[in-house]
Structure 1
Amino acid sequence: MQTTRLPGGQLKFHALAEYLRRSIDAGTWVVGSKLPTERELAEATGYSINTVRRAVEELVAEGLLEVRQGAGMFVLLKPRSQNREASVGVLLPDLRLYFPKVLEGIKDTLEAADISLVLSTYQYDPGRESEALEQLIRSGVDGLLLVPSEARGRAAGERIASLRKLGKPVVLIERRFEELGSGDPTEFVCSHHTAGAFDAVQHLHALGHTRIALCLREHSRTGLPIRLGYEEAMGILGLDASVVVTATWDEWGPAKAAEVLDTFHQQGVTAALVFGDREAAILEAAALRRGMAVPGELAFVSYDDESAESAPIPLTAVAPSKYRMGRLAAELLLTRLREGNEAPVHQIFLKPRIVIRESCGAENGAGV
């Protein structure tokens, strides 16, 4: 069969293999993830099935991909560049909201230090999490930046023991073992969500609000520290902290928003701290449909600042320092790799800032 060449004499399957390498390097497909089928790749790239198959065979031979009979093609590991002194494994729950900015900070720091990165995600599935972590270890990384699933009670001690058995330096991101208090031995960088919520309440009070509600997404690990910050601030201000609404991700919709607005009206609420941006936007839209003035009759501060700016009336938001968190976690791990046990254990909290927009009634564009 005649082989078709691209301009410059490059074989088509070599060009496709290089494209797939770059996509994996960029995080399009991470360690442990499944690639599209050969037919889907052919349709997406315009190459023939035979060209796709030869490109896949090349990457399998390099140890980058693994073909599992009846299951498909999976990313096995990212080869370490010969010019790299070390590599760092990064385990994230997913690459949707929140963590892409954290990953950007990690990448910038490691690239500046000429350290390669091996990325894996587990989609909040504990089974996939264990497999993804094992794959990172097998890939030969020198240290780990982890956002593991939650572990409380007895599971916390088991998790700490398992991290020690890895035999690699570990820095946790947005995770810690708070139940252990000062006994938590891990190194971490976390957002101080309690302080973020505290500042949001203080901000709304400074604007003249005394009836301030809290809305939370149920079953979220961030909800508890936000509630603690809300209650602490309301207590210091001598305000009633009883108007707290919780609902699951699926329950937050127009019907729930209407119910919440009815509660606000009955309780005389004039402002609300809402976790997260999606829920705040749903509530704001419901208020506008009722003809309510935002922020005149009801002011909002959302929590996360992922999509707050795109709300009909841009939302003032508590914004965790995601990019800076990624940079700092990577810097701590690099220090640990250089200095070993001579380096102190760092347990760092980053206080979120408040990004002022139109929904709270303060001067637009300011920051707290």
Structure 2
Amino acid sequence: MIRDADSKGLKFEALADELRRGIRAGTWTAGEKLPTEQQLTDETGYSLTTVRRAFDDLVAEGVVVRRQGAGSFVAHVRPREERVRRRIGVLLPDTQLYYPRVLQGIDESLSAAGATLQLVTYRYDWTKEDAAIESLLDAGVDGLLLSPTMTEIDDPRGRAEELMRLPVPVVMVERSLMDAGPRDRTEHVCSDHRGGAYDAVQHLAALGHERIALLMRERTPTGPAILSGYRHAIQELGLAAGLEYALPKSAWEADSAQGAFEQLRALEATAALVFGDREATLLQGAIRRGGLTVPGDIALVSYDDEVADLAEVPLSAVAPPKYRIGRMAADVLLRRLIEGDDCPLHQIRLRPRIVIRRSCGATAPE
């Protein structure tokens, strides 16, 4: 729908600009027929001469082509200014386990658009983030895809607002503010980790478990959202509460999850959601050494699905859509660069799925 042009400039220029922005935004794609001159005259109230002059401008730019007897169509060759090769800066905590698929999605989206990628990592050390971002800005990037530290800091909202004030457009990847409400003006694409944890508990409850524990590593970026989703499910489903246990990563590895297993037994849990795959695999070994079986005595669902299928008993797992997150975040940033303030604010959460394997006791779909 073409909106009314304002009073600035000539009417045909305003209409041409509106049509041009619609083409850039994808309202009409390459090769697609545009509204006829008469349709635009009826819709906008402009004269046929004004509409025709707007089309003449777009044809002269190479944005639109006329076909005798058929109408006007979006040109397959993009206008010159849209062929600029953009450079996109990407900040990730690391490039291990979780992030390669995210990075693959980013890279494929940018490559398809003719944009280049410049990557820096901060190795989960928040004190290095600003310097890393500054290096990307100094390199002349046109926009930023950032996965910054948003938990375990004093002022997450202030940090987010600071990032949104950077001199180039910013889209956060797998990061967002917790419970910020309508004040949240960040642009982000991330997994719905609360939804993923909720679904895992619901799945285990549907298998008959009433005492479902949550076993986690301390101080993880996604931990608060997983904990929130777990607690919501426990309360809503009327399950036993207070079965939560968190240990530092080093403690999980130091005794091969023996302490986590003992805690699981003390809680009298028959099932557990475990963050992440490595911890769940270690826990499997501790359960076996304790003379119990998975899933016969204790059902397990891990969170992440990076190496869950390689466990002794393949782990059912919550699988965040990592590749899709990366691809969609890059698409959002590119659209922002093309449309500017005309682009609506994107705040996207993609819900993980549960991959059913042997560890939870359910039958995997064929």
Tell me the TM-score normalised to structure 2 length: 0.73
Amino acid at match of 2:253: G
Q: What is residue 201 of structure 2 aligned with on the other side?
A: 201
Structure 2 runs not aligned, ≥5 long = 1-82
Q: Check whether the contact 2:171–2:329 (CA below 8 A) recurs between aligned residues.
A: yes
2:275 alignment partner in structure 1: 275
Secondary structure in structure 2 of the residue aligned to 1:345:
coil
CA contact (8 A) 2:164 2:186 kept: no
What is the correspondence of 1:133-212 to structure 2 with a 5 Å cutoff?
133-150=133-150, 155-178=155-178, 180-212=180-212
Quick check: 2:147–2:174 contact (8 Å CA) kept in 1?
yes
Q: What is residue 109 of structure 2 aligned with on the other side?
A: 109
Higher mean C-alpha deviation, range 180-189 or range 263-272: 263-272
- CA offset at residue 262 of structure 1? 3.0
Which AA in structure 1 matches 2:332?
Answer: L
Cα gap change, 1:155/1:205 in structure 2, threshold over 3 Å: closer, same or farther?
Answer: closer
Q: Distance in 2 between matches of 1:254 and 1:203?
A: 31
Q: 1:155: Cα distance to partner?
A: 3.4
Counting only pairs closer than 5 Å after superposition, residues 175-324 of structure 1 correspond to structure 2 as: 175-178=175-178, 180-253=180-253, 255=255, 257-324=257-324
Cα deviation for residue 354 of structure 1 reads 0.3
Contact 1:210/1:239 (<8 A) preserved: yes
Q: What is the aligned-residue identity percentage?
A: 50
3-state SS of the aligned residue for 1:95?
coil
Contact 2:102 2:322 in 1 (8 A): yes
Q: Distance in 2 between matches of 1:304 and 1:150?
A: 19
TM-superposed deviation, 1:349 = 0.7
Q: Are the structure 2 counterparts of residues 224 and 139 from structure 1 closer, same or farther at C-alpha, using a change threshold of 3 Å?
A: same
Count the aligned residue pairs.
284
Most deviating of 192-201 and 205-214: 205-214
Q: Distance in 2 between matches of 1:264 and 1:221?
A: 24
Contact 2:252 2:260 in 1 (8 A): no
RMSD, aligned CA: 1.9
CA separation of 1:202 and 1:180: change in aligned 2, threshold 3 A: closer
CA change 1:209–1:157 in 2 (3 A) is closer
What is the CA distance between 1:182 and its match in structure 2?
A: 1.5
Aligned residue type for 2:130? S
Cα separation, 2, equivalents of 1:257 and 1:165: 43
SS at match of 1:178: coil
What secondary structure sits across from 1:227 in the alignment? helix
Alpha-carbon distance in 1 for matches of 2:108, 2:136: 20
Q: Distance in 1 between matches of 2:127 and 2:333?
A: 26
Once the two structures are TM-superposed, the CA of residue 267 in structure 1 deviates from its matched residue by 3.5
Q: Deviations over 1:26-75 (max 9, x none)?
A: xxxxxxxxxxxxxxxxxxxxxxxxxxxxxxxxxxxxxxxxxxxxxxxxxx
1:219 Cα offset (Å): 1.2
Confirm or deny that 1:340 pairs with 2:335: no
Shift of 1:159: 2.5
User: Which residue number corresponds to residue 354 of structure 1?
Assistant: 354
On the 8 A contact 1:254/1:286 being kept in 2, the answer is no
What secondary structure, in the 3-state scheme, does the structure 1 residue paired with 2:292 have? Answer: coil
CA contact (8 A) 1:355 1:365 kept: no
What is the CA-CA distance between 1:319 and the residue it aligns to? 0.6
**How far off is 1:365 after superposition?**
5.2
Amino acid at match of 1:101: R
> Does structure 1 conserve the Cα–Cα contact (< 8 Å) formed by 2:149 and 2:221?
no
CA distance in 1, matches of 2:258, 2:154: 41
How high is the TM-score relative to the length of structure 1? 0.73
C-alpha distance after superposition, 1:307-336 (max 9, x if no partner): 111111110000100000000000100110
Q: Partners of 2:95 and 2:221 in 1: how far apart?
A: 18
SS in 1 for 2:180: helix
Q: Counterpart amino acid of 1:98?
A: Y
* Closer, same or farther: CA 347–210 of 1 in aligned 2, 3 Å: same
Moved more, 309-318 or 357-366: 357-366
The 3 A distance-change label for structure 1 pair 225 and 308 is same
The gaps in structure 1 that reach 5 residues or longer are 1-82
